[in-house]
């Protein structure tokens, strides 16, 4: 699209963004409702907070080029699942899998993809559960299924990922700094997991 500003393609892309944003709102509401129900039933909130973002056009084009996808609305809809993204930050590790289960068991939510970087951390030490679900969005013309990517992680994993992201992800990584801090951060990811598991056990004993 950046290379060929075709009006028809652009208007299709704008429509896609509007649709995906609606899907993101549907899932956000479901997650808020689940958290509120937990508060009433168990006097506890598994979700610490949530962040929603629509992938900006520059990142979208970069990703399409990196993966060799055509820059058309159809190709982007078919191949790129993280246009609409929600990050769910939980208190404890078990909450991650509970939130996933409660959301994906809803009859109008279908799990499309799942990457468990907690059981299988990335080489950098990155931990998080990534799922892509599809949810119907009711348009004037009828329902349309929309994919939404959800990254679910604890407060500790989120703090780690923000700092590590600064160090090397997306930016022109400064190799000297990556060499200096990469291993140290990887070690901290492991330590954080131990601490979070220990704190979870204490929390379980208190409820």
What is the footprint of ligand 0O2 within residues 68-97 (CB under 6 A)?
81-82, 85
Binding of residue 62 to ligand 0O2 (CB under 6 A): no
Catalytic residue, from 149, 164, 191, 193: name it.
Answer: 149
Binding of residue 170 to ligand 0O2 (CB under 6 A): yes
Shorter beta-carbon distance to ligand 0O2: residue 55 or 134: 55
Is 193 one of the annotated active-site residues of the chain?
A: no
Shorter beta-carbon distance to ligand 0O2: residue 141 or 162: 162
Q: How far is the CB of 148 from ligand 0O2 (least distance, A)?
A: 12
Binding of residue 158 to ligand 0O2 (CB under 6 A): no
Neighbouring C-alpha atoms within 13 Å toward the C-beta of 190: 7
Neighbouring C-alpha atoms within 13 Å toward the C-beta of 65: 9
The SS3 call for residue 86 is strand
Per-residue tokens: 159: 């703090």
131 contact partners, CB below 8 Å, separation of at least 6 = 100, 104, 111, 113, 114, 115, 149, 150, 152
Closest among 39, 95, 44 to 206, alpha carbons compared: 44
Which residues of this chain interact with ligand 0O2, rule CB under 6 A?
Answer: 55, 59, 81-82, 85, 115, 122, 124, 126, 130, 161, 164-165, 169-170
């Amino acid at each position: 699209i950046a290379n060929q500003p075709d009006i028809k393609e652009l208007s299709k892309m704008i429509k896609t963004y509007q649709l995906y944003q609606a899907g993101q709102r549907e899932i956000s509401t479901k997650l808020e409702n689940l958290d509120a129900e937990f508060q009433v039933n168990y006097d506890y909130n598994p979700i610490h907070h949530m962040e929603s973002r629509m992938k900006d056009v520059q990142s979208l084009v970069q990703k399409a080029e990196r993966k060799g996808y055509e820059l058309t609305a159809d190709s982007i809809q078919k191949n790129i699942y993280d246009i609409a993204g929600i990050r769910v930050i939980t208190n404890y590790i078990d909450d991650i899998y509970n939130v996933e289960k409660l959301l994906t068991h809803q009859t109008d939510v279908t799990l499309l993809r799942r990457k468990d970087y907690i059981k299988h951390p990335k080489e950098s030490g990155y931990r998080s559960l990534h799922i892509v679900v599809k949810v119907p969005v009711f348009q004037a013309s009828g329902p349309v299924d929309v994919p939404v990517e959800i990254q679910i992680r604890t407060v500790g994993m989120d703090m780690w990922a923000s700092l590590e992201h600064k160090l090397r992800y997306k930016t022109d990584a400064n190799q000297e700094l990556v060499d200096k801090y990469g291993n140290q951060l990887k070690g901290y990811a492991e330590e954080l997991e131990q601490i979070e598991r220990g704190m979870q056990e204490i929390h379980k004993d208190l409820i």
